[in-house]
Structure 1
Amino acid sequence: MIKQNVPKEILITEANLKRLEGIIQYAPISNEHQKDNLERLSEDLERATVVDSKDIPPDVVTINSTLQIRDLDSGEEMMFTVVLPSNADVSQGRISLLAPVGSAVVGYRSGDVVEWCVPAGLKRLKIERVLYQPEAAGDLDE
């Protein structure tokens, strides 16, 4: 479950919301950790503010966004693209939005700190920058 003192505003496009709701509904669940991850994502979507694709700020992580993050515990910086599960390929820097880090960042903005539970404990990362967002680039797929 996401653990934040003050819940940050989550923004999502109508197209992304529909995709995510469908994925959550039909996602295979093979363990308790995946179940918890999907429940957290569902809770985030329930409180998200839905905006039109053309109105979403360019620093919000959407499906197919490329972002730079920093692990606040190790200091390690990473860059990856959040993609649909069928397009995931970790070796190519494409992380499924159903992976814990993928679902943790969707809807959040540059500068936000996101926390989530992993089997080893609490993971914290900061979204340093959204390097590419399809909506801001005019690559709308609705």
Structure 2
Amino acid sequence: MNTIQVTQNDYNTLMELLARNPGETNDEKTRQGALLSELLRADILPEAEIAPDVITLRRRARLVELESGDVLDYTLVLPQEADVSEGRISILAPLGTAMLGFRRGDVFEWTMPGGTMKLKVENVLRG
């Protein structure tokens, strides 16, 4: 499993989000547990030490699904800012949690009801 990088500010924001909003449904608890697991395995670094090609909150990522070649463009945001039709995906969405902390060139897996997809981070830009 690749190590991911998370800014200290994002880590603090996301830990606060999890503490303030305990999941009410099993689905919410599962999503929050997945995010917590990612945060606990991350290297937490000051913003100045995070490369510009690492997916953090408010950065836009271009992902390529390796099997189909489909391209996904999303900006990673907090739940209240999410709007998939505008390309903003919540950090609590399974894909949002899965993409956190990876950098350009990394390949990661996203498990969904229909199976597992392998995605490559093609590019990362400021949101």
The CA distance in 2 between the partners of 1:101 and 1:27, in whole Å, is 20
- Partner letter of residue 54 of structure 1? A
| Cα distance change on mapping 1:70 and 1:31 into 2, 3 Å | farther
Matched, 1:119 2:113: yes
Q: Which has the higher strand share?
A: 2
TM-score by length of 1: 0.80
Alpha-carbon displacement from aligned partner over 1:81-132 (angstroms, at most 9, x marks no partner): 1111111111111111111111111111111111132122212211111022
Q: Name the counterpart of 2:45.
A: 51
How far 1:12 moved relative to its partner?
Answer: 0.9
The CA distance in 2 between the partners of 1:132 and 1:18, in whole Å, is 20
Aligned pair count? 127
The 5 Å alignment of 1:100-139 reads: 100-132=94-126
- Percent identity of the aligned residues? 38
Unpaired stretches in structure 2, ≥5 consecutive residues = none
- Partner letter of residue 39 of structure 1? G
TM-score by length of 2: 0.89
Matched, 1:11 2:5: yes
The answer to whether the 8 Å contact 2:110/2:119 transfers is: no
Q: CA-atom RMSD, angstroms? A: 1.7
Unpaired stretches in structure 1, ≥5 consecutive residues = 1-6, 134-142
